Structure 1
Amino acid sequence: MNRISSQLATQLSLVSLDGRRRPEPPALVLVAHGSRDPRTLATVHTLLDRIRELRPGLPVHLGHIELNAPLLPDTLAALGTGDAVLVPLLLSRGYHVKRDIPEMAAAAQARTRVAAPLGPHPLLVETLYDRLVEAGWRTRTDEATRRTSAVVLAAAGSRDPEGAVDTHRTAQLLSDRLGVPVVPAYASAAAPTVETAIRALAARGRHRVAVASYFTAPGLFATQCAEAAPWIASAPLGTHPAMADLILHRYDQSLAATATTEPALASA
């Protein structure tokens, strides 16, 4: 019912009080990293379909930073001089969010604004929680079990210290949700590794350790991190319904910020 109401509200918003159709809203360009794993591209396309279902009147496009077509510069070139909000399908700040995407946007003719990365955000925490429950995490445990339990939040990793800050924030929010320690660990570019984090937790008496996959889609890093789990490992965030909601939230948030600071999207 909520989804139907959202779709109806979106359709009505495209019509002005005098019955004439309003100008098309700025396009949402979902910016994915790109991957050689075909499951990643399938996940991204499913997310795009869900976004279109939630906002039927919203132009939605895809652009990759690397590895997959369409590449972001090609997507922006096809938009011409149209307005667009670029929403990174990335979970924290880092080089791609700070440099790659803005530089590609600046080189395009389209009038663009780059939204914040998806994380940290409570919707991601709820998605991580649901994925852990799907993998076998018990929603109710006694105190003795909690004292021996913990979670390793397995992320891709970044050399940018702000990326680590964002991941630590997500880990803290998930810890609050679960009531057990949650330790961030990384597949590359940062420390500790998942294996190191698991050993450190075991040294503290935490032997019931789950690995929470903090990746947007299946892939090499997610698989390697899951294989290191001594107990259960959750699936990546993937096509959880909250992901499409969060992408649209970042889009709306960017438009709202634009509206309060300038009359229109800035020309890149």
Structure 2
Amino acid sequence: MSSPLAQPTPPALVAVAHGSRDPRALRTVSALLDRVRALRPDVPVHLGHIELNAPLLPETLAALGDREAVLVPLLLSRGHHVKRDIPATAAASCARTRPAPPLGPHPLLVDALQDRLTEAGWGGTPRRTSAVVLAAAGSRDPDARADTARTAHLLAARLGVPVVPAYASAATPTVETAVRTLLARGRRHIALASCFTAPGRFATECARKAPWIAAAPLGTHPAMARLLLHRYDQALRGAPATPHLASA
């Protein structure tokens, strides 16, 4: 009696992180990917960084050879890295790659943001005096700002209070400006939601400017692991993998 055919290995999930000089960032991203592996043990999960940390994305793709891979940005909006850096690196590799969208905006991202706020002490204050500043890294790309604004809108609908997006760099308003705007509107209890995947310089600087409570970065929240896999599956349902040849 013939043995059953072995099931083919699914395409690799390559999580693409930005990279940070803060050692907590790599530890956090690694722990998040461990959660992903626990949810889907059949999926090979790899990590590649855009800069600052090893392994860099070109090294990760080189190790995969000509295997099929889905590149899932651990980024929360569109921008230069999603539109330019990641596709350029993929095009220079031998891997057969599929791009996935960034993690935001999405209701699972809002789940994580809301829970982090609750952990920090959100709740118990009147809605008419409460508000949230959604702190993000920032980008000159208008699509990135539109994505962050959409995430703020979804969080506001969930919480029932105003949520103003603010940025650590490259875009306005800053956290300080957003706080002043909300104070002028009579919002005395202003929390900061950290729209960052992991601890780092920008997340730390933004948290220091919170006038009341500051939520932790999204990190290893269970919704983040589910969101990574959702983007992976979404990419697999889309266009077929594109073969690339490394330039001579």
Q: Which residue of 2 aligns with 1:39?
A: 24
Output one character per residue of 1:95-145: Cα deviation in whole Å (capped at 9) or x when no partner: 00000000000000000011000000000101000000000011x55xxx2
More contact order relative to length (CA 8 Å, sep ≥ 6): 2
Q: Which residue of 1 aligns with 2:39?
A: 54
CA distance in structure 1 between the partners assigned to 2:107 and 2:4 by the alignment: 38
Which residue identity lines up with residue 186 of structure 1 in the other structure?
A: Y
Q: Say whether residues 1:149 and 2:134 are aligned partners.
A: no
Shift of the alpha carbon at 1:217? 0.5
Q: Say whether residues 1:123 and 2:115 are aligned partners.
A: no
Shift of the alpha carbon at 1:19? 2.4
Q: Which residue of 1 aligns with 2:204?
A: 223
Query: What number of residue pairs does the alignment pair up?
Result: 242
Q: Say whether residues 1:108 and 2:98 are aligned partners.
A: no
Of residues 170, 188, 192, the one that matches 1:207 is 188
Three-state SS of the structure 2 residue aligned to 1:87 is strand
Q: Which residue of 2 aligns with 1:248?
A: 229
Three-state SS of the structure 2 residue aligned to 1:185 is strand
Shift of the alpha carbon at 1:57? 1.3
Q: Say whether residues 1:133 and 2:109 are aligned partners.
A: no
CA distance in structure 2 between the partners assigned to 1:49 and 1:220 by the alignment: 24
TM-score (structure 2 length as normaliser):
0.96
Three-state SS of the structure 1 residue aligned to 2:104 is coil
CA distance in structure 2 between the partners assigned to 1:51 and 1:125 by the alignment: 18
Which residue identity lines up with residue 102 of structure 2 in the other structure?
A: P
Of residues 218, 229, 243, the one that matches 1:267 is 243
Shift of the alpha carbon at 1:75? 0.6
Q: Which residue of 1 aligns with 2:12?
A: 27
Identity of aligned residues (%): 73
Give me the CA root mean square deviation. Answer: 1.0
Three-state SS of the structure 1 residue aligned to 2:210 is coil
CA distance in structure 1 between the partners assigned to 2:188 and 2:37 by the alignment: 43
Q: Structure 1: 5+ residue runs without aligned partners?
A: 1-17, 259-263
Alignment of 1:142-181 (within 5 A): 145-181=126-162
CA distance in structure 1 between the partners assigned to 2:107 and 2:117 by the alignment: 15
CA distance in structure 2 between the partners assigned to 1:48 and 1:174 by the alignment: 25
Output one character per residue of 1:60-90: Cα deviation in whole Å (capped at 9) or x when no partner: 1110000011100011011111000000000
Shift of the alpha carbon at 1:254? 0.2
CA distance in structure 2 between the partners assigned to 1:165 and 1:181 by the alignment: 17
CA distance in structure 2 between the partners assigned to 1:176 and 1:78 by the alignment: 44
Q: Which residue of 2 aligns with 1:14?
A: none
CA distance in structure 2 between the partners assigned to 1:194 and 1:146 by the alignment: 20
Shift of the alpha carbon at 1:47? 1.1
Which residue identity lines up with residue 195 of structure 1 in the other structure?
A: E
Three-state SS of the structure 2 residue aligned to 1:242 is helix
CA distance in structure 1 between the partners assigned to 2:182 and 2:39 by the alignment: 41
Q: Structure 2: 5+ residue runs without aligned partners?
A: none
